[in-house]
Structures are given as C-alpha cells and as structure tokens.
Amino acid sequence: MITAEDLAARVSKYNPKSNSAMIIAAHEYSKNKHHGQLRKSGEPYFSHPLAVAIILSEQKLDDASIITALLHDTIEDTGSTKQEISNNFSPEIAKLVDGVTKLTKMQLSSTETKEAENIRKLLMAIAQDMRVILVKLADRLHNMRTIRSMATEKQAQKARETMDIFAPLAGRMGMQSIREDLEDLSFKVLNPEGRASIMRRFITLQKETGDVVDRITGDMNEELRTAGIGAKVIGRAKKPYSIWRKMQEKGLAFSRLSDIYGFRIIAINEADCYRILGIIHRRWRAVPGRFKDYISQPKSNGYRSIHTTVSGRDGKRVEVQIRTQQMHDVAESGVAAHWSYRDGVRSENPFTVDPYDWIKSLIEQFDAEEDHDAFLEAVKLEMYTDKVFCFTPKGDVIKLPKGATPIDFAYAIHTRIGNRCVGAKVDGLRVPLWTRLRNGQSIEVITAQGQNPQVTWLEMAETGKAKTAIRRALREADKQKHIVMGQELARAAFEHVGKKATDKALSTAAKKMRIPNKDELLARLGSAELRSRDVVHSVYPELASDQQPLVDSRRAVIGLAPGQSFNRSPCCQALPGERIIGIAAHGQGVAVHTIDCEVLVKYESKPDLWLDLHWHSGKHAAVYPVTLDVTISNDAGVLGRICTLIGEQLANISDLEFVERNPDFYRLNMNVDLRDIEQLHAVTTVLEAEGQVAAVARLRRGQASVSEP
C-alpha cells in the first residue's frame, strides 16, 4: 500500500502546484476513520479509497477530485459528517463527498426501487458537479476489479448494473479507457465461458501467426520514418468484450472476424494526421466503407480522430486511428480532460467540450416526461447511441444517433418543426418518414399548419427527444376523446373477466403502472399507447393472462380502407409485432411487407401505392407461416428433437423440405405457423441452444406477392 507521501508525489509530478499537505491530511484522515474496517476480501478497507484516488491520479485530475476519492466512503461508513469534512478540508470537497455518498446509496438496478427515478437523480447529481461521477466511475472500476470476493448473486447484479448504466455513461462522456475496462470486467462475470473462449482463441492465434502487433507497428514506424514524419504508433489487440460484441453484431465466428487488432498513431499536429492517412493508404489497401473523419466532424462528446481499416500482413484487417496528442487525451479521458493537468498547469485542451452540456440537455429534455419507462428508455438510447451527421439546407450540422429518421431530424431542429412535419427530402428527393439517415446527407423538412404527430411516429423515431415530444403531443391532442374511448375499452376489457371498471380499479391500475392518475391512464388507453389487457392484468393478474379473445386474422391489419383485403408477401413473411408497409395493387388487394423488405426498393418511385399499416395489438392466432432455414447434424433422433422443441413453444410445423443432404449435415426448410414475432424469437432461441443445430435463420425468398403495378 503506497504512503500518503507517495500519493502526494504522484499528483505533484503532473501538478507541481498541488496542495500536497492537504492530500496527505486526507490520506491520514480516511485511514484513521476506516481503521479496523475490512473489505469482503479481508484487506483493510482503506485500500479501496486509496485505489480510487490512484485511478484518478492516472487521469491527472485536480486536488479536489483526488481528496474526494480518499474521503468518498467516510460519511457513509465511518460516521463522519459533511460539516466535519467542510471544516477539515473545504466546502467544495464536502459537497463532492456528499454527492458521491448519495450516488452510492442509489440502488440503480434494484427491482424494489424506481429505477428511472434514481437515474433521474443520478443525472441531477452529475449536473451539480461532473467530478462526482468521475469519482463514482473510479469507485466502480476498483470494485469491479475486486468483485470476486463478493457473493455470486451480488457479483451478477453489480456486473449487470455496470454494463447497463456505468459503462455506457463513461462512454457517452468520452472516457473510453474506463468504459472498455468496465465492460470487460462485467463480461468476465456475466459470461465467463465466452470470455475464456475468446482468450483461448487469442492464444492459439498468436501461436500460429506470431506477434502481429509488433510486426505491424514496426512496419508503420518504418513508413513514417521514410516520410520524415514524427509520430508515435501504439498497437494492441482489442478487449475480449469488444471482440465478442462484434461477433454478436455481425454474426461471425472468431476465425472469420477480421479487425481484432487496433493501432493508434499520435501525430504532432492536425496536418500530419492527414499526411499519415495518405501514407497508410499507399502502403496498405484501404477497406471500402470503413473510413470515418471525426476530425472534421467531431462527436458530440469532443472525440476527434481519423478512423480507417486496412488490409495488413497476410490479408488481415486492422483498424487504424490517427489523432494528435490533445485529441488522444480527450479520446481516453473524455470530460475528465476538463480537470486534468499537463506539464504542471491546468489543461487548456481546445477539444474538450463543456462537460455539463449533455447532462443539462438530457435533464431538460425529459423533465416533463411523467412516464418512468419512457424516461428510462430515452436515457439509455442517449447513452448507447453512435452518431450520424446530417445537414440542414443552410449547411448547419445536426448530430443524430445511428438509425435516426427525418422525424428525429425535424425534432432536433425544434419541437414545433417536428410536430408539423408532413414529409422530408433527402438530398433533394422526397423520401418516406421512416427512412434511415446516413452521414453527410442534406435534409429538408416539409411542414404544414394543422399537422399533428401520429402514433406510428413512435416506431419510426429513434431519439429520446423525438419520442418524448411525440408522446406529449399525442396525449395533449384530443385528450378528452381518448378518455371517452379509453373508458369504453376499459369497460369491455374488465367485463370480459367478470369485473367492473370502477374508479377505484382504474386508479389502482394507474398506480401499479406508474401513471399519474386515472384520466391519464384512460387517455393512453384510448390513444392505443396502452393495451386494455395490460390494464386488467395490473389489477387482476390471475384473470387476465390468457383470456382475451383472439384477433380475427381477416382484420389483423389496421390501416386498410373499408373492403380492402390484404395478404402477407412471401418475400418477407411479416408477423404481428413487426413494423409493416402495404403496397396496393390493382384488383389484387394489399401486399403486406416488413419495413426492411428488399422488395420495397422496387416501389420507391411509386409513393402513391404505399400504405402506412400496423398490426392489431390484441392476441393473434398461430396462423402465420414462416419459413426457417435449419442446418442439423445427421444423427439419429435429431430431427425428432427439433420437432419436439418447436412443439413445446406451441408452434406447428406445416411443411418440411430437405434442400441439401450431406454425410454429416442436413439442411432443410421448415414452414412453422406462428402467432407473432415474439413466438418466432422463442422458437429460434430454443433451436440455437440445441447442440445438434448448426444454424437456424428466417428465410427471405426475395419475391413479391403481387405483380408489379
């Protein structure tokens, strides 16, 4: 355990003006207060706050942050008071320690507390002083490093909380090194077999190929020396969790994963960054579509860097990031760089953003959101999103999350623009409102007086800001009409289970569903934001589970004109629960497609044929066939087990065709009758878990169900 003088010396090394005497005093104060206390591991408890202080010293933070780290558990665990800390140190430090104490007491992932309300409080605490969350992140990092001394259930709970809240929060604030460490430590707890498997494959790969990182680093250094450019090359293998996530996202095995190595080149200035990019692309072949320039278009958290992927030695892909030292400091430390020191003075890094902007905007954005689930969804969307950059007709840059639509763009400009949106042009061409935007596109929003948001916009919107504004507008518009409709829906639903929709029953339902009052519940029920069976289930869970009537399959789709019929196109075999689009054909009814069906490309120039449809929200019968492409091992009894697994999910196999027979594997197409997308997920999940199933996928046939108009 390092001494007080050692810690003070560490801080003085990057900040010669630091108050070493106060750091030493805080060290001794905390050590005395925690005397006799032990951690679960049996170590002296003081080793923990000391370790947190060391982590923050590695980030080169100010004295107040270091001292807060040393004292952060004294109020909670030793009987020390905020006033005592204020008297002994300073009011600023007392306020920081008190803020960290309040964060520690929040059970962010507890099922016994309101998770959304606690996260709202978390954001409010951060808005008071960002250093509170910096200390808390360092505290969580050290706790995750020593988590093995905790009970198994507690480990899983803390790891899940870290993965869901603290790691993405660190990432959103630009603290990439801490985010990666938190993710990987959580991954080690939540999926130890998966992490161990990746580590074993890494070891095998290194034995087969040697030290790829050293070889490519040497090649890059040689190219830079030849060009007369001074720069530092840092190479590394990516973290196990980062590799595992990429395997899951791309559906690839480890052996097929390409860019598992990353290289950072730290240049002297911005001009050299672009010169180095040219050298890298001349020496190695660039991978198309894998270039991003975050120097000219920085991320909202201040991140700047050039990203490119090239084919290195033996055709292996490697990712290269090129940035200056100042950009690198922000990339690694994020908002912490705002308080860090370099060369003995407070860092005046030109690339750091105001560390409070995002938190304040988030709080203001959702302050009026009364729905706890909606607030929680919106916060997590904001923490996890990557960004795309689009332009207004005047050339202003609008930053949006990946997957955003013109609706998100309209609300990003102003809520009034979003509410009045009737259409959009992307690069001069009219597009549907559900179109996913891409980097660099120019967006023109078309508005009209009297236009109001539609319920279907909630499925199209990606940003929390847009979803919140749409929900608010939907609730305010024709609220009384929705209340009347909701009363009728509630009456019918309660009568169906032999009960009455009394004021008391509805008020009870509102309370259990965390809705402010009975009228608000009825308004949401009437506007189709809630399902009547869910309201009944909240009051009488034993009666409402499976007793609602089945939706008539002839009326399963909402949005058709009177007398209009529909059929599910075999190209995508849409299921209830999926977003759908209708294509009208002369005399042939309406063909229903999923929103991502490739066949829809044929109709981009015929917008008058498009119909905005959605499935009935009730319970559907299992009458919708879906074709599964299944590969199984050629062993006795395997096909029987597959059929049994599907039957256990209450699904029926209506047809089966062998499309390929090999000595070791069979490939077959199975038509399975399903009720909705959730049942499809249940079926594919149990099949994927079966050891004799090599692959299972939903088959897309690529042909339209109606002739082209």
Q: Which residues are catalytic?
A: 76-77
Q: State the Cα–Cα distance between residues 81 and 76, nearest whole angstrom.
A: 9
DSSP H or E run through 213: helix 212-227
Give every CB contact of residue 241 below 8 A, 6+ residues apart in sequence: 180, 183, 184, 186, 187, 195
Residues 593 and 524 sit within 8 Å (Cβ to Cβ): no
Quickly count: other Cβ atoms within 10 Å of residue 427's Cβ.
Answer: 12
Amino acid at 218: G
CB 683 within 8 A of CB 646: yes
Count of helix runs (H) and strand runs (E) in the chain: 30, 24
How many whole angstroms separate alpha carbon 616 and alpha carbon 549?
Answer: 12
Cα of 419 vs its chain's centroid, Å: 26
Q: Which of 630, 621, 613, 624 is nearest to 570 (CA)?
A: 624
What gap in Å lies between CA 151 and CA 124, rounded to an integer?
31
CA–CA dist 165, 382 (Å, integer): 11
CB atoms inside a 10 Å sphere around CB 200: 11
How many residues are listed for the chain in this entry?
709
Report which secondary-structure segment, H or E, holds 502.
none
Contact 125, 99 (CB under 8 A): yes
CB neighbourhood size of 460 (10 A): 23
Task: Give the pair of three-digit tokens for residue 449.
Answer: 């007086």
Q: Measure Cα distances from 317 to 331, 361, 613 in Å.
A: 22, 39, 43
Phi/psi of residue 594, nearest 5 degrees: -75, 155
- Provide the pairing of β-strand 566-568 with 665-674: unpaired
Supply the DSSP symbol for 560: P
SS3 of 91-110: HHHHHHHHHHHHHHHCCCCC
Q: How far is CA 6 from the centre of its chain?
A: 40
CA distance linking residue 516 with residue 528, whole number of Å: 17
Local structure of 318: helix, strand or coil? strand
In three-state secondary structure terms, 203 is helix
Contact between 628 and 684 under an 8 Å Cβ cutoff? The reply is yes
Partners of residue 624 on adjacent β-strands: 674
CA-based nearest residue to 431, from 571, 574, 603: 603
3-state secondary structure of 112: coil
Report the run of H or E that residue 688 belongs to, with start and end: helix 677-689
Q: What angle do CA 298, 291, 232 make, to 5 degrees?
A: 75
**419 SS3 class:** helix
Going by C-alpha positions, the residue among 459, 452, 433 that lies closest to residue 444 is 433
**Alpha-carbon gap, residue 112 to 110, rounded angstroms:** 5
Look up residue 310 and give its two tokens. 């090239």
